[in-house]
Structure 1
Amino acid sequence: MTTPPVPSPPPFGRALCAMVTPFTGEGALDLDGAQRLADRLVAGGCDGLVLSGTTGESPTTSDAEKSALVRAVREAVGARASIVAGIGTADTLHSAELARAAEKAGADALLAVAPYYSRPPQDAIEAHFRELADASALPLALYDIPGRTGVRIEPETMIRLSGHPRIVAVKDCAYDLMGTQKVLSRTGLAFYTGCDEYVLALYALGGAGYISTVANAVPRHFRSVIDAFGAGGTTEAARLQQQALPLIELMMASGLPGAVTAKALLGALGLPSGPVRAPLRPADRAATDELLAAYEELTA
């Protein structure tokens, strides 16, 4: 039987937030709001921030806005947290350009979603990620979210890609615990769950931590889950995970995208958020009230 590799220290920290991209009321990039939100998240226990991901509305922000966001958040958090910049597009050359721009802007690492729409086969997906990993000197995390991209990064593809020195992690939104464990047992890739309901489950299986949308509102709560587990408090960790379920369900499984629900809740709390950009539409008052009630119950 093959001996599993010894896990490496988490490359980007353990508690990461998939940060929203704040906009002004007129829809422009709100860099001051981004800095204030980033500072709050780090003070709340996040040791990493993912910018320009799904929750950060990356399909509707420009290349210049993505770079400006990295620079502003770097200025706000300094060395207190890692900054992981989303660079994934459906175009390999464009993604490579974004990788170089993120490095220049001050990012610590890159996150790249599988190339969507074109539905490339696995050998093309592998070549795509190798090209992105070669585009800069920064470490790269693979973002496996077939529900949005229409294509998997198959476990065997991840295993092959793990041999590249700069491909170091996975953001796992595939809902395939069998496949995840297969890769964990055969590589040193750091797995971060991108599904808030799996924060404890994946961590207990040897995952590195999480990249959470719900943490935009309650960063300290999710940090407490993994801290409790790490200290041997498995029952307490389970209680905390389950306690967050009503808010997780409303934010992530209510039929509204996480960017919409996160911005609605942050706005209701008076925190930087602003509107979402089209084609997304804001949450209505009833949904916002439900989110706020679940937040208040969790933080009471």
Structure 2
Amino acid sequence: MTTTATPAPPFGRALCAMITPFTDSGALDLDGAQRLADRLVTEGCDGLVLSGTTGESPTTTDVEKSALVRAVRDAVGERASIVAGVGTADTRHTVELALAAEKAGADGVLVVTPYYSRPPQDAVEEHFRTVADASGLPVVLYDIPGRTGTRIEPDTMLRLAAHPRIVAVKDCSYDFLGTQKVLSRTELAYYAGCEEHILALYAVGGTGYVSTVANLVPRQLRSILDAFDAGDTARAARLQQQATELIESTMSAGLPGTVTVKALLNDLDLPAGPVRAPLRPADRKTTDGLRAAYERLRAA
């Protein structure tokens, strides 16, 4: 199928890959999650992605993942969509998590490419089809080969796009040509998974973003899309450029985004708490640098 129309956003345009707040003792902080979710939606997020990489999915239990979806749904109601991260290296376990997310009230599921075992493309395709067939929820494919070791090749994307419940992609492939190939030939909704690509992907027909940095500055990132939609492309470019320092400090400073985001949220007295091992907290110098970049962006 060939299309030149921008697909309708299945979960909105501005999505936050939300951190999972923990208490000081490391337990799941559902009250904190509800307060953070409410703030993010109030500040402009159309949707929240729970239990993704930023949400520390490798170190939260299945029970915690379901409890998080229920708590956030109670907090935001129908004001925002909820996409639950359910991807694992095990197809059977991923199906179980997708069914649990559906029961807990999610609007969709985020499914990452199976990692570590590095399956070939026919196995990757079958994995996604099996998960999509298992529940009634729409599926977001998560293409992030830098973490999984295996990408979803464009030709595989083209075949998967024919599945009625595979509706979107979180794109961290760093293959802009491959992305545009799929955009030009399918109706998949493409969300930038790398903040430096928000405007670039949106300008060629992307749907929006799924952002870790949106935990910190949801309104500022949304304004990039709003400016572009209003036809003020120069302002959109300026807003994207103004966010660069914080994006780099958060995502490219040698620490996982979960660590840097939680450090700054804690410094701002917002719900976050510690990270779970094997992750370790950011030091004071890193936190001070993040705070300075944050303040400069807020003042811009």
TM bracket (short chain): over 0.9
Q: CA deviation at 1:6?
A: 3.2
Paired residues, what number?
299
Spell out, residue by residue over 1:154-209, the C-alpha distance to the aligned partner (whole angstroms, 9 max, x if none). 00000000000000000000100000000000100000011011111100010000
2:115 aligned partner: 116
Aligned to 1:193: 192
CA contact (8 A) 1:55 1:258 kept: yes
Displacement of 1:16: 0.2
Give the corresponding residue for 1:296.
295
The answer on whether the counterparts of 1:5 and 1:188 sit within 8 Å (CA) in structure 2 is no
Q: Secondary structure of 1:134's match?
A: helix
What residue in structure 2 maps to residue 126 of structure 1?
A: 125
Q: Which residue of 1 aligns with 2:251?
A: 252
Do the aligned partners of 2:2 and 2:186 also contact (CA within 8 Å) in 1? no
Deviation of 1:45 after TM superposition, in Å, equals 0.3
Residue of structure 2 in register with 1:241 after alignment: 240
Secondary structure at the residue paired with 1:37? helix
Identity of aligned residues (%): 75
Distance 2:6 2:137 in 1: 20
What's 2:94 paired with?
95
RMSD across aligned positions (CA) = 0.8
Provide structure 2 residue ranges, at least 5 long, that are not aligned to the other structure.
none
Q: Is structure 2 residue 19 aligned with structure 1 residue 20? A: yes
Q: 2:3 and 2:14 mapped to 1: Cα distance?
A: 24
In structure 2, the residue matched to 1:48 is: 47
Residue 232 (1) aligns with residue 245 (2) = no
2: CA distance between counterparts of 1:235 and 1:64? Answer: 46
Q: Distance in 2 between matches of 1:113 and 1:107?
A: 17
Q: Residue 209 in 1 paired to residue 208 in 2?
A: yes
SS at match of 2:152: coil
Please tell me whether the aligned partners of residues 25 and 274 of structure 1 are also in contact (alpha carbons under 8 angstroms): yes
CA–CA separation in structure 1 for the residues paired with 2:181 and 2:8: 19
Report what 1:265 is aligned to: 264
Give 1:257 shift.
0.2
* Counterpart residue number, 1:34: 33
With normalisation by structure 2, the TM-score equals: 0.99
Q: Indicate if the aligned counterparts of 2:143 and 2:172 stay in contact, CA closer than 8 A.
A: yes
CA distance in 1, matches of 2:124, 2:181: 19
Whichever residue aligns with residue 33 of structure 1, its letter is G
User: Could you tell me whether the CA contact under 8 Å between 2:6 and 2:206 is conserved in 1?
Assistant: no
Unaligned runs of 5+ in 1: none
Distance 2:228 2:4 in 1: 22
- Alpha-carbon distance in 2 for matches of 1:107, 1:280: 27
